[in-house]
Amino acid sequence: MYKKNSFKDFAANENNPKWNQMIKREQELYTKPGDIRSPFERDFNRILHTNAYNRLKHKTQVFFSPENDHICTRIEHVNYVESISYTISNYLGLNSELTRAIACGHDVGHGPFGHKGERILSEISKRELGKSFWHEQNGLHIVDRIELLDDYDGNKQNLNLTYAVRDGIISHCGEIDEESIKPREEAIDLNDYKSPNQYSPFTWEGCIVKVSDKISYLGRDIEDAIEENFLTDEMLRELQDITKAPNKTSNTSLINSFVTDICENSSPEDGIRLSHESLEMMNKIKAFNYKYIYGAKRMEPSHKYFELVINQIFEILKSTFDGENTQNEIKNMAKYYPNLLNNFYSWIIKYWNIENRDGLKNRVFFDINNEKDYIQAIIYYISGMTDKYALETYNELIHF
């Protein structure tokens, strides 16, 4: 077993040669005299107070069950990742403030209806813009462009997070099958990311969150599947054969097993890693989940419904584009769909290149005359919707 704190010489702190890049922000962040927080603590607080983070409690993780309080939502998943990554980073001697901030923000780019919603938005993005939508990249765009906080003078500004946290968000893709993860050395432009898992994270802490993401959902998805009567006794016996658990397989026992295994087998030389036996078991559990849960026929009716909901909302919003006259077109359409159009208008004017920007000090990302910009804005807007709000919006569209 490797000793506790075996990674302390590689932690994200002032002694790390990467430190200046880790704490670099795209713009200087306003400060208040006497602030006692570290750069990563500030990032954690800034993410914690965003709308994108708060909405995660009403976004699907796997099962669309808004009336069942015992089914995991996206916010619970985020809390699991934060807890798991803290335990591992704390044991290994890494910076748990950084893992906490990355974990807090890692899934803010998810749209409504879980991964099915992500696939629907990606189909729209490919059709309209010629590029994929993926939640890791969208998460980076949300924290860089969309989420705003009031500064000390009451003006709205971008979050302006550190490079290490932004990198951890776009690099967190948990769908990994390799036996170990090591951080990359170079500080790339994060906008150069073209696909999930294209690059390793820049920090060891980012690597921890990446593997914690996968550990966090495997067992919990199984527990939710049992709650929703997805798994037969025969399926559960098959799972028992995979995990070798003496009694029933539980989420807590799986998390404990994987976390302990990572702490015992990781080293700066070998990377953040599971033993061969644990990695094999993890991949078998993942295959089990895809076979009996994610790909189950019982998922199909809701998936078709989600496709209808998201596409109809998109089409209505897209129909309002009319170049410089778009603002008037939105207001005209608002008499038919007041909640959708008024809320959308209040949102998009924060990011348009319009003349009156009183109280707005955030960067402008959309040209009012550019239809592609408008479509991108619509995709951002829909991705920010909760399941409940998306359904309420669709109901407004179909009622007279």
pLDDT for position 53 = 97
Residue 103 belongs to domain spanning? 8-108+147-295
Distance CA 249, CA 240 (A): 7
User: Model's pTM, two decimal places?
Assistant: 0.95
d(C-alpha 231, C-alpha 293), whole Å: 8
Span between the terminal Cα atoms of the chain, in Å: 67
Q: Does one domain contain both 91 and 180?
A: yes
How many Å apart are CA 26 and CA 146, to the nearest integer? Answer: 15
* Amino acid type, 53: Y
Give CA–CA dist 163/40, Å, rounded: 10
In angstroms, rounded to a whole number, what is the distance separating the alpha carbons of residues 141 and 148? 12
Is residue 371 domain-resident? Answer: yes
Please state the length of the chain: 400
Q: In terms of Cα–Cα distance, which of 342, 344, 348 is closest to 364?
A: 348
The mean pLDDT values, 10 residues at a time, for the chain of 400 residues are 85 97 93 88 97 95 80 93 97 98 98 96 98 97 96 92 98 72 96 92 97 91 90 92 81 90 94 93 93 92 96 98 94 96 96 84 92 98 97 94
Spell 12-44 as b/e; 16+ CB within 10 A means b. Answer: beeebebeebbbebeeebeeeeeeeebbbebbb
Q: Please indicate, yes or no, whether residues 66 and 155 belong to a single structural domain of this protein.
A: yes
Whether residues 34 and 183 share a domain: the answer is yes
Is residue 223 located within the same domain as residue 237?
Answer: yes
Distance CA 274, CA 260 (A): 9
- pLDDT at residue 178 in the model: 63
* pLDDT computed for residue 1 by the predictor: 52
* Whether the Cβ atoms of residue 392 and residue 385 lie closer than 8 Å to each other: no
Residue 187, classed as helix, strand or coil, is coil
304 and 280 belong to one structural domain: no
- In a domain, residue 187? The reply is yes
- Report pLDDT for 177: 56
